[in-house]
């Protein structure tokens, strides 16, 4: 008899300090959708892309199974989402399950906070489990998951991205999905063990390409590749969330017994705990970083303004770093995109070739951070106006058609400033090239990003300067007004003790 698989997607990385709202209509992040995509549209938008759910679609086809894709809700990182989004996804999935289902394959983020629940994914899984107590459920999670008991207790198999920038999304879906299908075929018996350490890793220091995560992940990958365990994943955590279950964590899916999984889990996290000081990022004043960049003879030099990164919930219109670049007189710069629909409209009204003076950015206050928006007055020539549409050619979200809203380029003589109506973390050069700017030919490229720029821009960079600008995702974690975070937690509380079990 033909098996019936259900795939669904619910993704939102919630920065609880972000001033950027998250209305339901924003859950159509990919594709021309108003709100979550459903059924045939979800299939059309995600099939063939570098996303876990695309792997689920292919796995179902390879198994000759029927695939139902009831809902894909995907929003850009921002403030806590309305609680209805979890209800909407849970209802759509449960309705599909009720019509008959052999296995459920979920593509989730792992750091969703709603106005009602500090663990959006845990709540979704709890609701599904309540109506389908024995349903085999595979879950693919982002590297920035804050892993919780509710997620693990209500799933069968969990696997996480092993890259940051995230370029193994499809592969993660394959890893989780394959294990679940092997379980359906009675070839394996997945048993999950997990643990979360009281360590708030810094996002600039926790990528799997860097130490100590690299060594931790080497253990996980070796165990999974050798078949010693079914899946092994480490999660860097999403630190910009004022909730109790934030922390560096790992999960191992063992076959049949907890023993092999527990040993590996302990070894991975022991390494992370012993080397926790390597997860700390030292913040440098903005003026010092720009001065250091100015001293380079050759370019492109990437200036990474990571305190206002929309990919982590930033409003993408904090002007402090560009202001400093202009104050120190850097030449041959391209910068952006800055999100400022008002300035885009003003430049479109003026037209290409017009000389304008605009009050750029600074439109959004950041009350959780105690910061007011401060526009930067800039004058220049409007060089280009675009519809903001391009297709990703780089390794992250390859092939996905993006629309970042109408764009305008303001040329000050020293700086070509890309201004967009929408928010977009530049992980692909397309945002610039579609507007006639070739970042590879610039001396300086100022980007509002933290790590995902590496996917598209690192190959063309001679130097990378990390600039700790102000904003809702500041790299100075002592500036966040923490209220609900688990305490003690390292490094905010330097004397934090390990919660690892003592090994005999």
Instruction: Provide, rounded to whole angstroms, the least separation between the CB of residue 196 and Zn ion.
Output: 17
Q: Would you call 83 exposed, middle or buried from its count of C-beta atoms within 10 A (0-12, 13-18, 19+)?
A: middle
Q: Please measure the distance between the N-terminal and C-terminal CA atoms of the chain and give it in whole angstroms.
A: 49
Binding of Zn ion by 168 (CB under 5 A): no
Angle 193-197-198 from CA coordinates, rounded to 5°: 155
d(CA 384, CA 353): 8
**Structure-block tokens of residue 248:** 């560096």
Query: Nearer to Zn ion by C-beta: 69 or 427?
Result: 427
The phi, psi pair for 38, rounded to 5°, reads -130, 150
Check: CB of residue 2 under 8 Å from CB of residue 93: no
Binding of Zn ion by 144 (CB under 5 A): yes
Q: E-assigned strands of 363-453?
A: 376-386, 389-391, 401-403, 407-411, 415-420, 444-447
Stretch that binds Zn ion, among 137-145, 193-201, 397-405, 421-429 (CB under 5 A): 137-145
Query: Nearer to Zn ion by C-beta: 314 or 439?
Result: 314
Stretch that binds Zn ion, among 136-144, 145-153, 348-356, 359-367 (CB under 5 A): 136-144
Stretch that binds Zn ion, among 50-58, 141-149, 247-255, 410-418 (CB under 5 A): 141-149
d(CA 445, CA 303): 6
Query: Nearer to Zn ion by C-beta: 6 or 72?
Result: 72
Stretch that binds Zn ion, among 143-151, 172-180, 286-294, 447-455 (CB under 5 A): 143-151
Compute the 3-state secondary structure of the chain and give helix, strand, coil in percent, each to the nearest 5.
30, 25, 45
Contacts of residue 85, Cβ cutoff 8 Å, sequence gap at least 6: 10, 12, 24, 27, 36, 73, 75, 114, 120
Per CB under 5 A, which of residues 28..57 are in contact with Zn ion? none
Cis peptide leading into 337, omega within 30 of 0?
Answer: yes
Query: Nearer to Zn ion by C-beta: 144 or 276?
Result: 144
Instruction: Provide, rounded to whole angstroms, the least separation between the CB of residue 157 and Zn ion.
Output: 20
Binding of Zn ion by 205 (CB under 5 A): no
Binding of Zn ion by 142 (CB under 5 A): yes
Stretch that binds Zn ion, among 99-107, 140-148, 206-214, 447-455 (CB under 5 A): 140-148
Query: Nearer to Zn ion by C-beta: 398 or 499?
Result: 398
Check: CB of residue 56 under 8 Å from CB of residue 352: no
Instruction: Provide, rounded to whole angstroms, the least separation between the CB of residue 498 and Zn ion.
Output: 26
Instruction: Provide, rounded to whole angstroms, the least separation between the CB of residue 451 and Zn ion.
Output: 9
Query: Nearer to Zn ion by C-beta: 250 or 415?
Result: 250
Query: Nearer to Zn ion by C-beta: 164 or 273?
Result: 164
Look up tokens 């220049």; give the residue: 380
Instruction: Provide, rounded to whole angstroms, the least separation between the CB of residue 426 and Zn ion.
Output: 16
Number of residues that bind Zn ion (CB under 5 A): 2
- Name the residue number minimizing CB distance to Zn ion: 144
Binding of Zn ion by 117 (CB under 5 A): no
Instruction: Provide, rounded to whole angstroms, the least separation between the CB of residue 142 and Zn ion.
Output: 4
Angle, helices 320-327 vs 286-294, to 10°: value is: 40
Q: Are strands 389-391 and 401-403 parallel, antiparallel or unpaired?
A: antiparallel
Query: Nearer to Zn ion by C-beta: 119 or 142?
Result: 142
Note the residues at the interface with Zn ion (CB under 5 A): 142, 144
């Amino acid at each position: 008899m033909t098996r019936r698989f259900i795939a669904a997607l619910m993704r939102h990385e919630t920065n609880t300090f972000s001033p950027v709202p998250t209305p339901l209509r924003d859950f159509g992040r990919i594709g021309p959708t108003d709100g979550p995509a459903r059924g045939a549209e979800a299939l059309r938008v995600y099939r063939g892309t570098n996303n876990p759910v695309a792997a689920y679609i292919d796995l179902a086809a390879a198994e000759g199974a029927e695939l139902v894709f009831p809902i894909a809700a995907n929003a850009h990182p921002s403030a806590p989402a309305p609680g209805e989004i979890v209800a909407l996804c849970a209802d759509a999935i449960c309705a599909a399950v009720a019509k008959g289902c052999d296995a459920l394959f979920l593509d989730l983020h792992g750091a969703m906070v709603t106005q009602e629940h500090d663990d959006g994914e845990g709540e979704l899984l709890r609701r599904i489990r309540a109506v389908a107590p024995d349903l085999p459920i595979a879950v693919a999670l982002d590297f920035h998951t804050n892993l919780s008991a509710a997620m693990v207790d209500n799933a069968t198999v969990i696997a996480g991205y092993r890259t940051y920038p995230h370029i193994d999304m499809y592969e993660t879906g394959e890893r989780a999905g394959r294990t679940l299908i092997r379980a359906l075929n009675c070839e394996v018996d997945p048993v999950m063990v997990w643990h979360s350490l009281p360590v708030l890793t810094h996002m600039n220091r926790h990528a799997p390409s860097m130490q100590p995560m690299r060594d931790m992940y080497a253990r996980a990958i070796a165990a999974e590749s050798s078949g010693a365990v079914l899946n092994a994943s480490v999660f860097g955590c999403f630190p910009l969330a004022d909730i109790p279950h934030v922390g560096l964590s790992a999960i191992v899916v063992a076959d049949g017994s907890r023993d092999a999984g527990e040993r590996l889990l302990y070894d991975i996290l022991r390494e992370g705990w012993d080397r926790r000081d390597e997860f700390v990022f030292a913040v440098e004043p903005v003026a010092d970083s720009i001065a250091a960049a100015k001293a380079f003879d050759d370019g492109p030099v990437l200036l990474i303004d990571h305190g206002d990164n929309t990919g982590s919930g930033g409003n993408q219109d904090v002007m402090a770093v560009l202001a400093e670049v202009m104050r120190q007189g850097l030449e041959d710069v391209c910068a952006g995109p800055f999100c400022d629909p008002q300035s885009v409209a003003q430049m479109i009204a003026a037209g290409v070739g017009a000389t304008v003076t605009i009050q750029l950015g600074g439109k959004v206050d950041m009350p959780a951070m105690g910061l007011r928006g401060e526009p930067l007055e800039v004058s220049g020539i409007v060089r280009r106006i675009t519809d903001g549409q391009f297709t990703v050619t780089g390794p992250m979200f390859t092939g996905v058609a993006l629309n970042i809203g109408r764009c305008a380029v303001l040329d000050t003589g020293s700086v070509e400033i890309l201004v967009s109506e929408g928010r977009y973390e530049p992980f692909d050069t397309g945002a610039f090239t579609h507007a006639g700017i070739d970042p590879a030919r610039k001396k300086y490229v100022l980007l509002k990003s933290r790590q995902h720029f590496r996917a598209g821009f690192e190959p063309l960079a001679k130097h990378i300067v990390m600039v700790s600008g102000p904003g809702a995702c500041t790299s100075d974690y002592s500036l966040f007004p923490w209220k609900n975070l688990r305490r003690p937690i390292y490094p905010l509380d330097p004397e934090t003790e390990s919660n690892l079990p003592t090994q005999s």
